[in-house]
Every structure is written in structure tokens, then in C-alpha cells.
A and B are shown apart, each in its own frame.
Chain A
Amino acid sequence: MRNKAGARSEQISWSRRFGDHLFTALAVAALLLVLLPLAAIFADLLERGIGSINWAFLTRTPAPVGVPGGGMANAILGSGVILGIATAIGVPLGIGSGVFLSEYGRNRFGDVIRFTADVLNGVPSIVIGIVAYSLVVLRQRHFSALAGGVALGIMMIPTITRATEEMLLLVPVSVREAALGLGISRWRTTVSVTLRTSAAGIITGIMLAFARVAGETAPLLFTAFGSQFWSTNINQPIAALPLQIFVYAISPYDEWHRQAWAGALVLIALIVGTIAVVRLIASRGMMKGTT
């Protein structure tokens, strides 16, 4: 038996079901639209780059013009060195200023810093390169890995600062009060409770900043400069994957073009790999039942 009310509720539920399906479909479509460029880039890189990746490519330095073979091992290493320096600069400064903004920055001064960080985030990367050039290169009188690291480190700061601040603000006041109520000092509460509670989000912010600067070329042009040789000396010019890709891509040689594709593929793989490893390590350190 179906009464009037039942029929009506069924009608409403039909239109609601339609709306539900419609919006689910729209959301899925938006997702696919976002994933499409990423998938296309990755597929293209794989197709063009995979053929040139071999043992020599990963273990040798570049061959002179006209000589076949050679690889980008020094550039892979160089990118690692530069990114290491950048992370060593960007992470402590970024987290430190993020903590300041969330814990002590509810005032005019905090607003100024927040605005400055947002502006810094929007400064073209080549301008950051000039800053590092005048800060480091002019003083050292030559290009260096250190200068490249400083440039990328500066670029990481605003992203990490804002991510840290946002994540710390998500930690409820009640959790801070619990710590203070136990007689734990303010700075200890910030370090051992508030930061620890938001660690997952802050790590995501750091990874975003890392991925962004790992592919930067412009700020390295007149800082790290590039090199054809092995080097781990941070006071000497050093090769970097994006630089090497740039040089090879604008060259007139087919062999170098192929190596540029392979270099791009390696760069993406390294970034994705780093993020995956960091996430894995971070998730091991987290407690079960934590969101």
C-alpha cells in the first residue's frame, strides 16, 4: 500500500537522487580535467625519455659535443646538493616564521609579515636568482652551488611559512590548554604538542615547496651556473638537472634533445620518489587513529 505522503517522498527523493548524481558526475569530471594534463605530460615524457635512459646516462658525466653517449649523473648529484642546501635554509626559517605567525602574530606586525610572505611567494624566480647573485656570487666572486641553494631556499620559505601557520591554527585551543594545564611551558607546548599535532600537514607544505623549487631553472642560471664535471664542492659551480635540460633542449643536436627528455623524466621521477619516501617515513612515525 502506498499512501500520498509516500508517493510524494519518492518524488522528492528522485529529484534529490538526480541532483546527487549530477554533482558527483561534475566533481569527477573536474577531477579528470585536472588529472589530464598531468597524465599527458607524464605519458609524453615516458614515451620520449625512456629510450635514452640507460646505465651510462645515470652514471656518466656529459660527453663533449659530437661524441655519442655520456649522461647526467653529475647533474643528478648537483640537484641533490643544491636542494639539500635549499631545504636546510628553507625548512627551519619557514617553520620558525610560521610558528611565530600562528603563536605570536595576531597583530599588526604579524599582518605585515604575512603580507610580505605572500609577496615573496609571487616574486618571479629569476628575481630571486638576482638576489642570490648579489648576496653570494658577488661576494664569493664566482658561481657556486651555495648560491643556487640560497636562491631555492629563499623560494621555499614563504610556502612553508604559510603552510606551517595554517596547520598550527588548525590545532584546537583545547589541545594547547591541555598542555598548559599540565604545567608545561609555552614554548615546550608549541614544540612538543602543537607542532607535533600538525606535523603531517607541515610535511605536506614542505613537500610542496620542495617540488616547486626542484624544477626551477631561472634562479640557477647565474648562481649554480652549471658544470660538465663531477663536483660536490658547494663553493664551486655545480650542474643541476633543470639547467642541463635547458642547455640540451635549446641545442641543435638530436642526441642532446633525447637526453633532455630523459633528464626531464628523471627529474620528475626523483621528485615523485622523494615525496613518496618522505610520506612513507612520516606515516610510520604517526599514531594509529590519528587523522
Chain B
Amino acid sequence: MGVGIEVESLNAWFGATQALQDIGMRIAPNHATAIIGPSGCGKSTFVRCLNRMHETLPETRVTGKVRIGEMEVYGDGTPAVLVRRQVGMVFQKPNPFPAMSIYDNVAAGLKLNGFRDRRKLDEIVERSLRMAALWDEVKDALKKKSGASLSGGQQQRLCIARALAVEPNVLLMDEPASALDPISTGKIEDLIFQLKENYTIVIVTHNMQQAARVAEFTGFFLLGRLIEFAKTEKIFTNPSDKRTEDYITGRFG
């Protein structure tokens, strides 16, 4: 089941440049929340702070609090790997492991963390691929074909299956459809609709129609600050902030 996310006075830096300033946000469980804003506004940095991926880049720093369910993400005793096992991530560009079969791609998160039960693994791989709506297309070549041999849209669904296989509570999607054609994009959006019954989804998107289609809540970021956070409907029909209005009506960005 999905869990809620609470963010309190979150700041993030790249070297001396501050990328996020004093972000506070409460993300509802089992809903999709969209993060929109112009390029360079800190959208990606924000979601990468939620699963502690930001700190994998050199010379980065984070302060503030993030709580996911009961877990203090930046708590003293919380290892980053534990956070990442509970918070799945799908990246902008599909990034399957090229030297692994389709099966091994999906099983990787479990296998490489020491999970050895083969029968259970078979089950989880099939279930994850079914959830990602990819099973029927790949079931005959699970162990024969490389993850890299699939089409771009299939690769992205493979990456979603891979993230689901470790059974996270939260799924972060960083522009998951921006590198895909409209048909593949449609499939990914359908998927988000189904997944949010069981997962809390945070999706970064450049595409405002996409935010309007899939998300109940939307946050608008500008220059590293959260300008407005409300129900998607309100953001797109009756924003409180002038800057939000300017952005969604296409006056900049």
C-alpha cells in the first residue's frame, strides 16, 4: 500500500548553487502528484531528494526533513539503500541493464540484494511485468533477449516493472514519457492510473496536459521554490499565484 510523504524545509545544493529552497509539501498516499515547472526549476532535484539519489552526485548537499510513512529519510540511522528499496524510481530515459536478460532486469533489485528463492522470483517477475503491461509482449523471450533489445516504450515499461519488483510504497517518475512516442506515452499514463490504487506516485512532467490527465495534485516549482501546491483542477483553472497562471497559460517557460 502507498504511504504519504511529508517534506519539511527541504534545501538542496549542487556545490555552491542552491537548487531547492525551503520546500514544504504533504503528498497524499495512493494518489498521483504531478510536479511541473520550467527547465532548471528543481523538479528533478526535488524527487531525487525523496529517495536520496541527489547525494549520489558529486559535491551535493541536502538539509531538511523528509518522512515517508514512518521512515525518516534523512534520519541518522536510515541507510540510503533502505530508502531506495522502499521508493522506486523511473527515470527520464529508459535505462535497462544492457547486459541482462529481460528476466534479470526485473529480478535485479531482488537478486542483487541477496534474494535467492527461484520460484518466488519467477512469480514476482511475472507479476511485475503484468502490472507494467509488458508481460504479453515479452513472455516468450524472458531469458533469451536483452533488456536493451526492446523498443523505447517497452524499455520504459520494463524499467517500471523493475521498480515494482522490489515492492516499494512510493513510485517516483522523472518525466517517464518525455522520450516516448504518443502511443507509448498513452500506455504509460494508463499504467499510472492503475498503479495509483496501490502506490503513491510522484511524477515530474514538462507536459501540462499530462499532469492534468494523471494527477490529483500538482505542485508548481519555479527557481528552486515551490510556488503553489493544490488540487490539479485548481492549479489549472484557478491558480492563486500570478506566476502559476503565467506559466500554465504559456506566458513563459
Contact check, A180 vs B84: say whether CB atoms are below 8 A apart. yes
Contact check, B166 vs A183: say whether CB atoms are below 8 A apart. yes
CB closest chain-A residue, reference B101: A287
In the bound complex, CA of A290 to CA of B150 (Å) = 11
Least CB distance from A78 to B in Å reads 37
Contact check, A184 vs B112: say whether CB atoms are below 8 A apart. yes
In the bound complex, CA of A285 to CA of B81 (Å) = 29
B65 adjacent to chain A (CB < 8 Å): no
A66 adjacent to chain B (CB < 8 Å): no
Q: How many of B's residues come within 8 Å of A, CB to CB?
A: 34
Complex interface: stretch among A192-200, A210-218, A244-252, A253-261: A192-200
CB contacts (< 8 Å) of B53 on chain A: these are 177, 180-181
Contact check, B91 vs A175: say whether CB atoms are below 8 A apart. no
In the bound complex, CA of A201 to CA of B167 (Å) = 34
In the bound complex, CA of A193 to CA of B109 (Å) = 11
Least CB distance from B227 to A in Å reads 28
Do A175 and B98 form a contact, CB below 8 Å, given A184-B81, A184-B108, A184-B113?
A: yes
CB closest chain-A residue, reference B109: A182
Query: B97 touches which one: A179, A183, A188 (CB < 8 A)?
Result: A179
Contact check, B113 vs A174: say whether CB atoms are below 8 A apart. no
In the bound complex, CA of A205 to CA of B177 (Å) = 38
Of B51, B88, B100, B112, which is in contact with the most chain A CB atoms at under 10 Å from its CB?
Answer: B112
B238 adjacent to chain A (CB < 8 Å): no
B56 adjacent to chain A (CB < 8 Å): yes
Do A183 and B113 form a contact, CB below 8 Å, given A172-B95, A288-B149, A289-B148?
A: yes
CB contacts (< 8 Å) of B101 on chain A: these are 287
Contact check, B112 vs A192: say whether CB atoms are below 8 A apart. yes
Query: A174 touches which one: B82, B93, B99, B109 (CB < 8 A)?
Result: B93
A138 adjacent to chain B (CB < 8 Å): no
Least CB distance from B234 to A in Å reads 32
Contact check, B81 vs A177: say whether CB atoms are below 8 A apart. no
Of A181, A199, A288, A290, which is in contact with the most chain B CB atoms at under 10 Å from its CB?
Answer: A181
CB contacts (< 8 Å) of A286 on chain B: these are 99
In the bound complex, CA of A199 to CA of B96 (Å) = 16
B184 adjacent to chain A (CB < 8 Å): no
CB contacts (< 8 Å) of A288 on chain B: these are 144-146, 149
Contact check, A182 vs B99: say whether CB atoms are below 8 A apart. no
CB contacts (< 8 Å) of B58 on chain A: these are 106
A185 adjacent to chain B (CB < 8 Å): yes
Query: A181 touches which one: B51, B146, B148, B149 (CB < 8 A)?
Result: B51
Contact check, A178 vs B98: say whether CB atoms are below 8 A apart. no
Q: Mark B63-95, 1 if CB is under 8 A from A, else 0.
A: 000000000000000000111111011010101
B188 adjacent to chain A (CB < 8 Å): no
CB closest chain-A residue, reference B159: A178
CB closest chain-B residue, reference A171: B98
CB contacts (< 8 Å) of B93 on chain A: these are 174
Contact check, A290 vs B146: say whether CB atoms are below 8 A apart. yes
CB closest chain-B residue, reference A289: B149
B157 adjacent to chain A (CB < 8 Å): no
Contact check, A290 vs B95: say whether CB atoms are below 8 A apart. no
B43 adjacent to chain A (CB < 8 Å): no
B163 adjacent to chain A (CB < 8 Å): yes
A3 adjacent to chain B (CB < 8 Å): no
In the bound complex, CA of A199 to CA of B58 (Å) = 26
Do A181 and B97 form a contact, CB below 8 Å, given A192-B112, A288-B144?
A: no
CB closest chain-B residue, reference A287: B146
A9 adjacent to chain B (CB < 8 Å): no
Contact check, A193 vs B145: say whether CB atoms are below 8 A apart. no
Residue contacts A-B, CB under 8 angstroms, 29 given: A174-B95, A175-B97, A177-B53, A177-B95, A178-B91, A178-B97, A181-B51, A181-B89, A181-B163, A182-B84, A182-B85, A182-B109, A182-B112, A182-B162, A182-B163, A183-B109, A183-B113, A184-B81, A184-B113, A196-B99, A197-B99, A287-B98, A287-B148, A288-B145, A288-B149, A289-B146, A289-B149, A290-B149, A291-B98
* Contacts beyond the supplied A182-B108, A183-B113, A291-B98: 7 A-B pairs with Cβ under 8 Å: A174-B93, A177-B56, A181-B84, A181-B88, A184-B81, A196-B99, A287-B100
Chain A interface residues toward B at CB < 8 A: 106, 172, 174-175, 177-185, 188-189, 192-193, 196-197, 199, 286-291
- Leading 7 A-B pairs by shortest Cβ distance: A289-B149, A183-B85, A287-B146, A182-B109, A183-B84, A289-B146, A174-B95
